[in-house]
Amino acid sequence: MPLMRTITGPTDLKRLTPRQVGILAQEIRDYLIESVSRTGGHLGPNLGVVELTIALHRVFNSPRDTLLFDTGHIAYVHKLLTGRHDFSTLRQQGGLSGYPSRTESDHDVIENSHASSSLSWAIGIAKARELQGETGRHTVAVIGDGALTGGMVWEALNNIAENRDLPLIIVINDNERSYAATRGGMADYLASLRATQEYEEVLSWGKRQLKRTPLVGRQVYETLHGMKKGLKDIVSPQGMFEDLGLKYLGPVDGHDVDAMETALRRAHDFGGVVLVHAITEKGHGYDPATQDEADRFHAVGVINPETGLPLELSGRSWTDEVSEEMVRLGKERPDIVAITASMLIPVGLQPFAERFPDRVFDVGIAEQHAVAMAAGLSYAGLHPVVCIYSTFLNRAFDQLLMDCALHRQGVTFVLDRAGVTGTDGASHNGMWDLTLLGMVPGIHVAAPRDGQQVARALREAVAIEDAPSVLRFPKGTVSAPIEAVRRHGTVDVLRDVEGAADAADGPVDLVLVGAGAMAVTALEIADKLYAEGRSVMVVDPRWVLPVSEDLVELARNARHVGVVEDALVGGLAGRITEALAAADVRVPVHAYGIPHEFLDHGSRGQVLDRVGLTADPIATSLAAQLA
């Protein structure tokens, strides 16, 4: 691709002719399809912003002008235009991040992939430059219509409206979708603006008919003109935004580079806050990504670039188990409802929504609202199940604590992608949940070890009506069933020691707690220690919070306790230590978890290996402790 390879930075774009810009856009689109189909990644969103990103870099001067992407998964084109052409190891260990990364380029700013934060960043940057006397620098935030459903955006807009003289440009990338179709009042409002643009186009067609066939054309034109006038009586394109004091430009065809450049140059020269409304199509230029199943091209694995079909067949996922059990529970209990934050398909709620359409609420990218709404649903007699990625619960911790737990509302949280998720990088790892949840009085947290336990734990969780309950599990293929050799109250014993229940036989060397998916690792560790002559009991507490008396009782007859968890080190282990101390059980607890640091992207296995959360290093460490 000769033209794309000559673009080593944004300044190279400015010398291109309009014809060359069109060629470049097609080269980029072809390259994205070819490269992302080999590695996996966010394909559809980036195909939709090719021309838009080219126009941004031709009008503004990055990095002197700051470009902010909300969310960062639409930054692939930006990476290519800033000289990063090797996508062969995209999202792989040592390769390019799937999001902006300051370690990669001075052109990157926001690495966090949580939506709706860009406008807050934007006013912060623009205001800081104003206070420091810096002039001639613009701040540009590119935000999707899906992210506009998040409350932070409107908090920021309220503040921006008081600072309308700042050189701040807001570009709405309006493709009618977040992961799936955007819903809610904001989506309806943007749709009305798109409708206005369509009326303008039809009216223009009517004018052409007037010239060709005056009699019929005049009738067509007058009819259309009346329809347009009626529409404008209902909604003015600038209405909401100009009521806030913000200059509005658009709607603009986001796939027309010339039109985008014209709008962006007007915004650049305006001398204050401007909102540019760009209409784009997610997956534009790639037929499989714009067809009926377009949502599956938001993020893809390895696919055939010609057909869009996956080349690697994945096994049954943890999410599949939740999806099926939710439908079964929905049939049994009409009080069960589900809430999602623009993630209906990824969290497995699509089958439930198809079966019970009136009992699913997609509230947009608004996790705080989702959780507070769940408290209200619970108070009014329903049992809501909030299905969300673990990392996104961070935003709704206050609502979990003060709205759900304080009021003892029976709300169940299904935390998908808990622990290490891998390829999406630091912001997507669900490593904080156990530490945060451990601070919530009265909460119940389950960590199923396999698919069968997912269904069992979910059923038990929705039976809790006087406190919030949580189910957490990792991303990926579900573990094979692990049968318990016996049950000790609420605790499953996965590997027993002969005579361990009889104190006269002496203490067990180690009670090893494998939390959730880490039960597999715990069993591998036990095998290694057993080969060295150590007596090891492996247990799965199933409900990790609160720490059960049954687990404390098992620990009484042990010389050591080990805890392996795919959360911040000490999260569960710290709670077990406290429970043992409260029961006057003086046994050392050895914690193995995720270190207190942000983790670079890589596969889940690579990341776990990098932080030492695998069988060999843990077995070596425990052997030294037991010596």
Give catalytic residues, as residue numbers: 282, 367, 395
Residue 297: enclosing H or E segment and its boundaries? none
286 marked as binding residue: yes
304 marked as binding residue: no
Instruction: Please return the burial class of 531, using the count of CB atoms within 10 Å of its CB with bins 0-12, 13-18 and 19+.
Output: exposed
Q: What is the distance between the alpha carbons of residues 145 and 163, in angstroms, rounded to a whole number?
A: 23
113 marked as binding residue: yes
Pairing mode of beta strands 486-488, 491-495: antiparallel
367 marked as binding residue: yes
- Number of other residues whose CB lies within 10 A of the CB of residue 397: 18
- Three-state DSSP state, 515: coil
147 marked as binding residue: yes
418 marked as binding residue: no
Instruction: Please return the burial class of 236, using the count of CB atoms within 10 Å of its CB with bins 0-12, 13-18 and 19+.
Output: middle
Provide the total of helices (H) and of strands (E) in the chain, helices listed first: 24, 18
108 marked as binding residue: no
Q: What is the distance between the alpha carbons of residues 562 and 522, in angstroms, rounded to a whole number?
A: 9
Q: What is the distance between the alpha carbons of residues 236 and 234, in angstroms, rounded to a whole number?
A: 7
**How far is Cα of residue 609 from the mean position of the Cα atoms in its chain?**
24
- Three-state DSSP state, 305: coil
Q: What is the distance between the alpha carbons of residues 563 and 451, in angstroms, rounded to a whole number?
A: 21
- Three-state DSSP state, 521: helix
Return the amino acid letter for 17: T
Q: At what angle do helices 185-212 and 214-234 cross, to 10 degrees?
A: 160
114 marked as binding residue: yes
**CB-based contacts of 277: which residues, under 8 Å, 6+ apart?**
172, 174, 190, 193, 248, 249, 250, 251, 252
| 142-180 b/e (C-beta count within 10 Å ≥ 16 → b) | bbbbbbbbbebbeebbeebeeeeebbbbbbbbbbbbbbb
242 marked as binding residue: no
Which residue's entry shows tokens 């934060």?
Answer: 117
Contact 231, 195 (CB under 8 A): yes
Q: What is the distance between the alpha carbons of residues 309 and 307, in angstroms, rounded to a whole number?
A: 5
Please state the residue numbers annotated as binding site for thiamine diphosphate.
73, 113-115, 146-147, 175, 286, 367
Please state the residue numbers annotated as binding site.
73, 113-115, 145-147, 175, 286, 367
Please state the residue numbers annotated as binding site for Mg(2+).
145, 175
